[in-house]
Amino acid sequence: MNNKRLIIIQSVVGILLLIPLIAMQFTNEVDWDIFDFVIMGILLSGTGFLCEFALRKVKGTLNRIIICGAVLFVFFLIWAELAVGIFGTPFAGS
């Protein structure tokens, strides 16, 4: 079961990365390069693996929910910063 969840995580990451790839074929509004796909793949995989790690190692449902919620919150902050620059760091998109 544990390895099955890892396969599911990677499958979901792949499917999510297909969305902008397909959108790029139909519109000029989506303009990702290989760097964007690599960074988003790392972010999505890292988020999935950290939540999986929490599910494996942490006892108690409430603690698991809190840790996975915190991981997702950090993911969304990083994603928003890279996309639109809500904090104004040099990593922000143009």
Over residues 29-80, the pLDDT tens digits come to 988 999 999 999 999 999 999 999 999 999 999 999 999 999 999 999 999 9
pTM over 0.85: yes
* 31 Rama sector, left if φ>0, alpha if ψ -120 to 50, beta otherwise: beta
**What's the length of the chain?**
94
Q: Is the pLDDT of residue 94 over 60?
A: no
Q: Could you give the 3-state DSSP secondary structure of residue 90?
A: coil
Residue 1 pLDDT grade (very low, low, confident, very high; cuts 50, 70, 90) = low
* pLDDT value, residue 61: 94
Contact 91, 70 (CB under 8 A): no
Query: Phi and psi of 59, rounded to 5°?
Result: -90, 145
